[in-house]
């Protein structure tokens, strides 16, 4: 079973993100908009053990503000909604989880850049008017199982302080 660790931001205007994802992301109805902290992995660690370790690791992590604005296109044509506030907090969580719980799963050749994926396209010129800001407080992270149809199955959620 594949799992990952995600943040599901609760933006007031999240429907603007979903409108873009509907056009460019085949998974838009299966997985809500999210920030990936740990990319999909397969491991023998049980869900319960992973949850316990994760909860202990982040027990002192405080809620934090994030803001997303502006689009960019990755080298492999993914459309990213860019994180402009809160990146350091997200990177710290990402690094902490990989370094302390899942070190063998870290892909060291890929630089981690906090973002929300909106889909895939070889051109974002037609999205130049997508100039919205998305702000919220991150107050939880989720441990997710990826279902057989690539749907999101939340195993557990951990609240931040």
For position 21, which CATH number holds? Answer: 3.90.1140.10
Cβ atoms of 39 and 7 closer than 8 Å: no
Query: What DSSP character marks residue 103?
Result: G
What is the mean pLDDT of the segment spanning 133-156? 97
Query: What DSSP character marks residue 126?
Result: G
Cβ atoms of 18 and 137 closer than 8 Å: no
pLDDT attached to residue 134: 98
Say how many domains are in the chain.
Answer: 1
pLDDT in tens, 4-59: 999 999 999 999 999 999 999 999 999 999 999 999 999 999 999 999 999 999 99
pLDDT attached to residue 14: 97
132 confidence band (pLDDT: 50, 70, 90): very high
d(CA 58, CA 40): 20
Q: Domain range spanning residue 24?
A: 2-159
pLDDT in tens, 69-94: 999 999 999 999 999 999 999 999 99
């Amino acid at each position: 079973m594949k799992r990952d660790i995600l943040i599901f931001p609760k933006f007031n205007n999240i429907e603007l993100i979903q409108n873009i994802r509907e056009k460019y992301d085949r998974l838009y109805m299966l997985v809500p908009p999210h920030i990936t902290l740990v990319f999909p992995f397969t491991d023998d660690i049980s869900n319960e053990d992973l949850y316990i370790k994760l909860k202990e690791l982040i027990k002192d992590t405080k809620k934090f503000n994030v803001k997303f604005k502006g689009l960019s296109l990755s080298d492999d044509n993914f459309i990213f909604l860019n994180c402009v506030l809160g990146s350091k907090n997200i990177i710290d969580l990402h690094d902490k989880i990989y370094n302390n719980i899942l070190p063998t799963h870290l892909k060291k050749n890929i630089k981690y850049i906090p973002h929300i994926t909106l889909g895939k396209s070889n051109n974002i010129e037609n999205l130049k008017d997508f100039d919205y800001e998305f702000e919220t407080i991150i107050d939880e992270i989720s441990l997710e199982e990826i279902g057989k149809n690539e749907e999101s199955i939340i195993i557990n959620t951990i609240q931040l302080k």
